[in-house]
Amino acid sequence: MSFINSLFGGQTKSTNEIEILDVTTFKVAISTKKIQLVDVRTKLEYNAGHIENAVNIDFFDRSNFTENFAGFDRAQPIYLYCRSGNRSQRTAKKLIQIGFKKIYDLKGGYKAWK
């Protein structure tokens, strides 16, 4: 791991619980009907454009982080994205800590999606 990655949390590291998906794989995965898809960008970023059916939960709203994810099924996979992949990776790590079992993160974020 490079020095920069160690400072910023190793942005593109997959684990057993967190899997980084490229755009094509992510699109196929979220094409099913019943998925949990979360955009962790700010409301302003979300309103400027987002993936269809994504719920917006602002990563920077840290005081309400656990409450914001309370309505989600922790046993079911959750799909995350942000602008470039940094915030969603940090969100994924926090979700594992509060009991989520499987998280899929969009590699390169919304920038890669467009």
- How many Cβ atoms are within 10 Å of 48's Cβ, its own excluded? 10
pLDDT at 12: 54
Q: Say if residue 109's pLDDT is above 80.
A: yes
Question: Higher pLDDT residue, 93 or 114?
Answer: 93
Separation of alpha carbons 104 and 80, rounded Å: 6
Mean pLDDT of 6-19: 65
What is the predicted pLDDT for the residue at 1? Answer: 38
Q: What is the pLDDT of residue 99?
A: 96
Q: How many residues does the chain have?
A: 114
Query: pLDDT of 74-97, one tens digit each?
Result: 999 999 999 999 999 999 999 999
Q: Is the pLDDT of residue 59 over 60?
A: yes
**Cβ neighbours, 10 Å, residue 43:** 12
Q: What is the pLDDT of residue 7?
A: 40
- 28, two tokens: 């196929």
Alpha-carbon span 32 to 34, nearest angstrom: 6
Backbone angles phi, psi at 18, to 5 degrees: -120, 125
Give the chain's domains with CATH numbers. 15-113 (3.40.250.10)
Distance from C-alpha of 80 to C-alpha of 37, rounded to nearest angstrom: 6
Active-site residue identified among 21, 82, 95, 106: 82
6 is known as an active-site residue: no
Q: Which of 100, 57, 106, 59 is nearest to 85 (CA)?
A: 106
Q: What is residue 104's three-state secondary structure?
A: strand
List pLDDT tens digits, range 19-30.
999 999 999 999
